[in-house]
Amino acid sequence: MDWAEVVEPEEVAPAEVVPEEEPVPEAEPVPQIPSLLEPPPLKSFLDPEGDLCLQVGEFPATSFIVCSRTLARTSSFWNVLLSGEFREGKKSRSLDDGSERRTIDLPEDDPRPMALLLNIIHGRFDRVPSYESVMYIWDLYDISVVTDKYDMAHVLRPWAAGWLHSITPKHHLDEGEQLSLREQHCHEQLWIYWELEIIEQTRPSIIKKLLTALSDIIQSLIHKDGGFERSPWNYEGNSLASMLGRGIQSCYSVGLWPLPPAADVQCSVSSLAAKLQTVEDEGGFRRGFSQKLALQKKVDEILNNIPSLLTVERKSRLKSQAKNKMPTVIMRLAATNDRLVMRIDYSGKQTIELAIWFVEMASLPKLISASDESGVLCIYDDDSKPKVKRRSYAREVLDVFLPAGYPHTVTRDYTPYQIYDSLQAFSSTIAGLLSSRAVLQGFGVGDAASSATGAVLLTVLQESTGRLATILFAHRLGQAIEPECKYYRFLADILNDSAMFLDVLSPALPGPAKVLALCMSGVLRALCGVSGTSAKASLSAHFARSSNLAELNAKDGSQETVISLLGMLAGSVFVRFVQGRLAVWLWTVTLVGLHLWTNYQAVRSVQLRTLNKQRATLLYTEFLRSGRVLRPDQVAAKERILHWKAPNIDYARKPPVTGEITTADLQTFRQNQYVIVTGRKGQKIYLKEGATTVSSIEAWLSALDGPRSVVNEEFWKAVASAGWDLETRAMETGPAVRIVVG
């Protein structure tokens, strides 16, 4: 900062007096401050394939085409801004060359230091001043301001030592005027030293010296006079043992006993010094010797010898300015979180020495960000004020229907599944209104010949058959639903749509056929309820990533409620205009077709991580063919939903009959946790007691591939690395029979 002398304005002569004309002195040219940071061109392609444009500075702004991934890897600030859902990181804009890129405006930043930093992180070292270059203090100050703002100081480490060496006073002592200019910028230099962690590097050595001083005092008490000595009975002072015990006790009370290594000390230098000042040695000192006073003296000596960044030349300049009563720039270091706050004090009467022993400020905590399960909600500046708010009002509304922390608390396939599931629920609701009207007509609503008692009895018959079907279906197929949840999820909608067709058909049928159709539709709906509810529970367990299964089901219910309400509103208008059997049939077929298509897409989008029979077969077949292990998403793309021709292999559902398992079979599989038996209907797998999930999968693959099976430990490691869940059982679809071999 260059200070000019304050010139008092000359008194203006009275108007009637004409002063003699004096030559007007020529104005001295304003000295140009040299700089190694040249202004970059208005458009710089740091990465020709860059996907991000930074508009730096005010009009005309300088455009930097950069790689967003490189920027995110370099700085935690940019990583949060670009990888999250901040508005600033999502704006796209058409540039002058016709391309369209994400664009971030940085009007308050200087393009010159920003260009240097971007050149470094993009590997453009030919555009960066070398290690030996003489760096002007104001250039380095501008650079450090940008690195502090965007958390990028670490990228300067290969150059920092050389550049800092170039601004030390010894290179400029012969040029008094230049030295004077540099000395006026002592506060900039202090900031540079702080930002580049030069001051921080002083802290460990000071901590070590303070702990060594305490250790020396304790050692002197232990070894003084050859060890402890017995005091006479009439001795009024304290013995060395008493002094040592009191000293250790006071050290323990402040957390300094046992003596910690310097690297483990988390408190500040000043805090450690204050703790050492409280160490006592029992008052009545022996022979006039005080270990406490010796320790205090040593601590004061260490603190006073901490190097200051104020040179002798700077102190002399400050004193001369104080004598001339000129405004003196004095910087006081204060702490807000972990930053040094520069305060300028204009005073001509006193000089304050800037002894740097505020190095402890780096260890103080500060508020950086606030987040929930979804990631960062907002980040804070140095004064703990929010800088960027993440969520928009639309997102706040969506959060009512989405699980907390979405999308980070659910799997990737949750979103496409829920979109298609919502669409199918909408069309199903409208089709359901058409079928409900047909059911009411089948019950005789609007028919004078029908009785209420007959309608009630028909309803009871329909409900009864449906509930009996529920019990039977749950008993026979309950264990198969979880391993084949995609199949049963889609089957549930096929059953439901079939029930709708029977409902729509029922008004046109005669009495007995109508009763049979309505009862059959009740059975189909019951099967749909068991199949759909169980399969959805299994899918929800797959989607939940953060032990949030209950919340996931609750939010799924909220989504279905909203979709059903919208569907009923649309269907209420729809059923008023769709009259006549042909129109009802055409619209029912259309809505059911749309319902089944969206449901099929929803199920197809699910990427289950468990291995059932089909997925294990697809995985192993591809491994035998190409030697690569497919990921869950790759297997899901090949998986069939309804029809899959399984090989003639199955797991035993009943205990073996006499002679079914031979001694040769037991001998062949004595080292395995399973036994494979070949019969007339194919191969049957008997799992042994204690068989694991991996063993059940291995048994299926061995039966599939025969004696040439290549299943080994390396294969299972590759399967686990591909993202497959080898802990959840999904191979057996019936009763789990286990055999014990003696």
Query: Could you read off the pLDDT of 31-66 as tens digits, one per residue?
Result: 444 566 778 888 888 888 888 999 998 878 899 999
Q: Domain 43-167, CATH 3.50.50.60 — does that match?
A: no
> Average per-residue pLDDT in the chain?
75
Structure confidence at residue 486 (pLDDT): 93
Q: Which residues pair with 379 in a beta bridge?
A: 369, 388
In the chain, the percentage of residues whose pLDDT exceeds 90 is 15
User: Which range among 305-314, 480-489, 548-557 shows the weakest confidence by mean pLDDT?
Assistant: 305-314
- Report pLDDT digits (tens) over 68-126: 999 988 888 888 888 766 666 666 776 666 678 888 888 888 899 899 999 999 988 88
C-alpha 178/C-alpha 317 separation (Å) is 13
| pLDDT at residue 13 greater than cutoff 50 | no
- Name the band, by pLDDT with cuts 50, 70 and 90, for residue 298: confident
414-604 has the same fold as 43-167:
no
How far is Cα 327 from Cα 111, in angstroms, rounded to an integer? 32
Give me the sheet containing 52-56, strands edge to edge. Answer: 43-45, 62-66, 52-56, 100-106, 92-94
pLDDT tens track for 432-471: 888 778 777 666 655 555 566 766 777 788 788 888 988 9
Q: Highest mean pLDDT range out of 150-154, 312-316, 379-383, 640-644?
A: 640-644
Q: pLDDT value at position 196?
A: 59
Reported as a single tens digit per residue, the pLDDT across 467-502 is 898 899 888 888 888 889 999 999 999 998 898 888
The tokens for 531 are 């199949």
The angle, 0 to 180 degrees and rounded to 10, between the axes of the packed helices 452-481 and 511-543 is 40
Q: pLDDT tens across 223-238, in order?
A: 655 444 444 544 444 5
Residues 6+ apart with CB under 8 A from 230: none
Q: What is the number of other CB atoms lying within 10 angstroms of the CB of residue 696?
A: 21
Identify the helix (H) or strand (E) that includes residue 489.
Answer: helix 485-505
Q: Identify which of 23-37, 262-276, 529-543 has the greatest average pLDDT.
A: 529-543
| Residue 637 falls in which region: left (phi positive, over 0), alpha (psi -120 to 50) or beta | alpha
CA distance 282 to 242: 7
Residue 204 confidence (pLDDT) above 80: no
What pLDDT score was predicted for residue 371? 66
Three-class DSSP category at 242: helix
Q: Which residue is associated with the tokens 């030349």?
A: 313
- Of 155, 65, 77, nearest to 117 (Cα)? 155
* Residue 601 pLDDT: 94
The pTM for the full model equals 0.52
Q: pLDDT at position 326, please?
A: 37
Is the sign of the CA dihedral 667, 668, 670, 671 positive or negative? Answer: positive
Kindly tell me the burial class for residue 523, based on how many C-beta atoms sit within 10 Å of its own C-beta (0-12, 13-18, 19 or more).
Answer: buried
On the question of pLDDT at 176 being above 70, the answer is no
- pLDDT tens, 621-679? 999 888 889 999 999 999 999 888 888 899 998 898 888 888 888 988 888 899 999 88
Local structure of 531: helix, strand or coil: helix
Give me the pLDDT at residue 238, please: 53
Residue 687 scores a pLDDT above 80? yes
Distance CA 20, CA 463 (A): 120
**Options 1.20.120, 1.10.1740, 1.10.1760, 1.20.1250; CATH of 414-604:** 1.20.1250
pLDDT at 495: 92
The residue among 384, 389, 385 whose CA lies nearest residue 371 is 389
Q: Which of 100-114, 172-186, 200-214, 279-293 has the lowest mean pLDDT?
A: 172-186
Answer with the residue of higher pLDDT: 284 or 206: 206
Task: Tell me the two tokens of residue 342.
Answer: 């520069």
The pLDDT of residue 118:
93
Supply the pLDDT for residue 211. Answer: 86
Q: What is the domain partition of the chain in residue ranges?
A: 43-167, 201-229+236-304, 414-604, 613-739
User: Which among 484, 488, 510, 524 has a CA at the least distance from the CA of 733?
Assistant: 484
Q: Is the pLDDT of residue 192 over 70?
A: no
pLDDT of 324 = 46
